[in-house]
């Protein structure tokens, strides 16, 4: 007999204050990608206190734990949170503001980690009331290529045996606390990084005839690359090409530099078109530079794949969430997003559902987007996040469709 939603909700209420303090501790002590040593140690110590067996040092500073219920060999599912912070100087004046200069949990990974620790507490406390095993994935380095998810998979963290499905949640400031958002099927884009180095011949700005102007060449390349999406992409395939940084090496009001760098991103939701676009970017950038007398070195750093939510699993998770939250309007449908997430790697190898946790509260002025220095959350969301994920885990174990 599995626990009722009232029992799970009661456990979430009982640990809410602890979950808030855990989140605040993590928020005070953020660490950048691949440097989450203290964060990983904190998670491992908390799992030790809860009596949850775990492995440290996975893919750097990641931690993997296992909560075994009745008949633990019967079913295995995974829950994921990420550990790393961003290189942003926090501007909030809260008592729990970051103590590490220039580093901030501006993407809510402190929320994800504290929530999964709270969920672990609930699942451990109720482990004699459900069947199967829940694997906890505390993943490092979501923010930096190649991504901690890729490395955890590469190191075999989800093998022997592989979970039958995986769930993850992510903060969503535009959604009010107490609500969650979901989408079946294709959800988030792949993400690749573009690095171009345009090389010309510098000289005096008053004598351009003696130079090969890389700034002019770079300008033509920026314009020419817009046709990758506007004229080469199938309009039915979501695609974005953005060039976000142009910088000359040297140069002044009267000096033409030797070199200009351009950096940007390409995102889409189709792997065949993704490869074709990479080839077009290479040809257009190199060809444009050559036609104007210069050269262009092209580096394309292939990033995260697209994220796809298994349709059947997501329909089930949506129904379970509505059952737990008690009202249909507390589970909303989300649009496609051209942002990316390394959770996508998990979605490529097993049924996955990545959903959004409402953390906003406009009446209290809690509306700042992620990746901004004023991002914060309504901590009431931490009661929803812990209880809901525990409930989803138990219901997915009970459902058993993905065995």
Catalytic residues: 84, 142
Nearest to 53 by CA among 70, 65, 62: 65
Nearest to 59 by CA among 140, 158, 142: 140
Exposed e or buried b per residue across 295-321, where buried means at least 16 C-beta atoms within 10 angstroms of its C-beta: bbebebeebbbbbbbbeebbebbbebb
| Cα dist from 17 to 25, 108, 190, whole Å | 12, 18, 37
Tokens of 396: 């997915």
In the block, tokens 């989800």 appear at 158
Which residue(s) pair with 245 in the sheet? Answer: 263
User: Using alpha carbons only, what angle is made at residue 185 by residues 302 and 116, rounded to the nearest 5 degrees?
Assistant: 80
Sign of CA pseudo-dihedral 54, 56, 60, 61:
positive
Which residue(s) pair with 402 in the sheet? Answer: none
Contact 39, 26 (CB under 8 A): yes
């Amino acid at each position: 007999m599995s626990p009722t939603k009232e029992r799970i909700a009661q456990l979430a209420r009982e640990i809410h204050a602890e979950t808030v303090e855990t989140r605040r501790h993590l928020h005070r002590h953020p660490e950048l990608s691949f440097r989450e040593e203290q964060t990983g140690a904190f998670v491992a110590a908390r799992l030790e206190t809860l009596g949850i067996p775990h492995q440290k040092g996975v893919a750097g500073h990641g931690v993997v734990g296992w909560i075994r219920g009745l008949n633990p060999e019967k079913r295995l599912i995974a829950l994921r949170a990420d550990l790393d912070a961003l290189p942003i100087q926090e501007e909030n004046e809260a008592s729990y503001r970051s103590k590490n200069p220039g580093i901030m949990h501006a993407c809510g990974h402190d929320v994800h980690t504290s929530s999964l620790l709270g969920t672990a507490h609930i699942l451990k406390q109720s482990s004699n009331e459900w069947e199967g095993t829940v694997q906890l994935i505390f993943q490092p380095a979501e923010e930096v290529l190649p991504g901690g998810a890729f490395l955890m998979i590469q190191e075999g963290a989800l093998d022997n045996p592989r979970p039958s499905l995986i769930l993850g949640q992510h903060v969503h400031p535009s959604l009010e606390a107490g609500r969650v958002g979901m989408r079946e099927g294709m959800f988030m884009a792949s993400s690749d990084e573009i690095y171009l180095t345009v090389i010309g011949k510098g000289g005096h700005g008053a004598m351009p005839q003696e130079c090969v102007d890389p700034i002019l060449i770079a300008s033509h390349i920026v314009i020419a690359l817009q046709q990758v999406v506007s004229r080469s992409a199938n309009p039915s395939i979501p695609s974005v090409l953005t060039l976000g940084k142009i910088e000359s090496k040297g140069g002044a009001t009267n000096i033409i530099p030797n070199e200009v760098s351009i950096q940007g991103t390409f995102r889409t939701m189709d792997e065949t078109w993704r490869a074709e676009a990479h080839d077009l970017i290479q040809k257009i950038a190199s060809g444009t530079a050559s036609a104007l007398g210069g050269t262009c070195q092209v580096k394309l750093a292939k990033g995260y794949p697209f994220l796809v939510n298994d349709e059947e699993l997501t329909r089930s998770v949506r129904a379970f969430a509505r059952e737990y939250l008690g009202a249909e309007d507390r589970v909303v449908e989300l649009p496609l997003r051209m942002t990316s997430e390394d959770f996508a790697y998990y979605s490529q190898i097993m049924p996955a559902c990545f959903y959004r946790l409402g953390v906003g509260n406009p009446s209290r002025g809690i509306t700042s987007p992620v990746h901004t220095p004023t991002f914060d959350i309504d901590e009431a969301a931490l009661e929803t996040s812990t209880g809901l994920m525990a409930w989803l885990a138990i219901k997915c174990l009970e459902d058993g469709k993905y065995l």
